Amino acid sequence: MKTGRKISGGKYHRARKSKHYEKRNQDRISVLKETKRKQLRTRGGHAKTILLSSNIANIVSKGKVQKAEILNVLETPQNTFFARQNRLMKGAIIKTSLGKARITNRPTQEGHVNAILIAE
């Protein structure tokens, strides 16, 4: 039988169309490039700053926060191919001017990159 059909051959019809607030947003990808941000309007008229690309990270080491330049993305836990594409995402191990660091926030949701220095 063809999918979406009744046993008698008749069509199933959708009860309603999807509402605007139920629709998915376009996938956001933040990559290693010159820093670029974007403001999005969210529900209730609020604004969310998203990160499209960045080459600077806020690194925490020994209780101090320093800005460091991101040199490369070494590995990503979600998918090995994301590291090749230099995608910045939570849990990714990055090479910075201070050493290796792990990203602790979600850059596409918060508009900046936070990371902690990891021992080599």
Nearest-angstrom CA–CA distance, 65 and 94: 16
Nearest-angstrom CA–CA distance, 6 and 116: 56
DSSP-assigned beta bridge partners for residue 75: 93
Helix (H) or strand (E) segment spanning residue 110? helix 107-110
pLDDT over 70 (residue 1): no
pLDDT of residue 38: 94
Nearest to 54 by CA among 92, 97, 107, 14: 107
Contacts of 72 (CB under 8 A, 6+ apart): 32, 86, 94, 95
pLDDT of residue 42: 87
Mean per-residue pLDDT over the chain, rounded: 92
For the sheet containing 36-41, what is the strand order? 31-32, 47-54, 36-41
Nearest-angstrom CA–CA distance, 70 and 56: 6
**Domain limits, the chain:** 24-117
pLDDT over 90 (residue 91): yes
| 2 — pLDDT class (breaks 50, 70, 90) | low
Q: Are 114 and 85 in contact (CB under 8 A)?
A: no
pLDDT of residue 36: 96
Q: What's the pTM value of the predicted model, to 2 decimals?
A: 0.81
Greatest Cα-to-Cα distance within the chain, rounded to the nearest angstrom: 70
pLDDT digits (tens, 9 = 90+) for 40-55: 998 899 999 999 999 9
Candidates 3.30.1180.20, 3.50.50.60, 3.10.290.70, 3.40.640.10; CATH matching 24-117: 3.10.290.70
| 119 — pLDDT class (breaks 50, 70, 90) | confident
